[in-house]
Amino acid sequence: MRFRVFHRTRYVYRAPVRDSYNELRLRPATDDKSRLEFFLLNLNPPTRLRHFRDNFFNYVHYFEVPEPHSELSIEAQCTINTTSPYDKGIPTGVPFAALKEDPDDMLAPFAKDSQYVEISPEVWRLGIDICDGRDDIFETATAVMHHIYNHWTYQPHVTNASTHMSEVMLGKKGVCQDFAHVMIGICRSLGIPTRYVSGYLYNGPQSHLRGTQASHAWCEVNIPGKGWFGLDPTNDTFADERHIKIATGRDYRDAAPITGHFDGPPGATTALQVDLEVRRLGS
């Protein structure tokens, strides 16, 4: 599928702020399943953009606005072609023993606790119950996805960007970021390397997908010998060509679209406006 994406985030401040420093993970990832044709970032106030690759190979732009300003607008546009990681089939048939046969040190960060994910005894017990004797890694991960979709309630505004998965485990409510963290924790408790993915989701004319109004989140599990495969517990679906990957990491902290800080009075931010359009090009 070929898409055009427009994503604008606008901050309005109660009083002028200064020395604003921000990191942006808004440039789509590129690999054999995703080909970026065009990407543009616009900032207001205008300032110099720099970039680097982080530890998870995400493309990170960063900038500073030292002078006082009352608004900040960050606008990203791109055109991208995507194909499904599942176009050659579902990666079943790999048993759990394969996770120990040839361990990969690069996967270690995705197999343990992180900022928003904790592998507690309660999480492990839930994982064992969901596993229910299965020995296929991908089938087990899919069962975890089904369980979250069927037992958690999608409800905006009951959590925020800093909500830990342990809170979501108790309340069983949240949004895509929360469901991704819960799934990551359960899968890691079973020994499956799992990472967080931020990006966009195309909601076609006949679709009724959740989490398409702003940046979306899902997770990817690593299947030995086959690679990373995405699962979207918010919508109980495989992450396919409709999912536009932007960044990956251990959890939201590593893949957040926008992070930053500024100097200003407490509670300076009075309004946050996010506009997102994911439009399919062609048939």
Does position 137 have pLDDT exceeding 60, yes or no?
yes
**Across residues 134-149, what is the average pLDDT?**
98
- Dump pLDDT digits (tens) for 7-64: 999 999 988 999 999 999 999 999 888 999 999 999 999 999 999 999 999 999 999 9
What pTM did the predictor assign?
Answer: 0.95
**Across residues 148-152, what is the average pLDDT?**
97
Does position 165 have pLDDT exceeding 70, yes or no?
yes
User: Distance between CA atoms of 136 and 93, rounded to whole angstroms?
Assistant: 6
Does position 69 have pLDDT exceeding 90, yes or no?
yes
CA-to-CA separations, 98 to 201, 223, 230, in angstroms, rounded: 32, 9, 19
Q: Kindly report the length of the chain.
A: 283
User: Distance between CA atoms of 118 and 186, rounded to whole angstroms?
Assistant: 9
- Percent of the chain clearing pLDDT 90 (strictly above): 87
Does position 283 have pLDDT exceeding 70, yes or no?
no
Task: Return the structure tokens found at 255.
Answer: 């893949």
* Mean per-residue pLDDT over the chain, rounded: 94
- Dump pLDDT digits (tens) for 235-280: 999 999 999 999 999 999 999 999 999 998 877 777 889 999 999 9
- Determine the residue type at 195: R
What pLDDT is stored for residue 208 in this prediction? 81
- Dump pLDDT digits (tens) for 194-210: 999 999 999 987 778 99
Residue from 162, 154, 165, 239 nearest 198 by CA: 239
**Across residues 81-93, what is the average pLDDT?**
95
CA-CA-CA-CA torsion sign (95, 97, 102, 103): positive
Kindly provide the b/e burial profile for residues 13-35, where b requires at least 16 CB atoms within 10 angstroms of the residue's own CB: beeebeebebbbbbbbbeeebbe
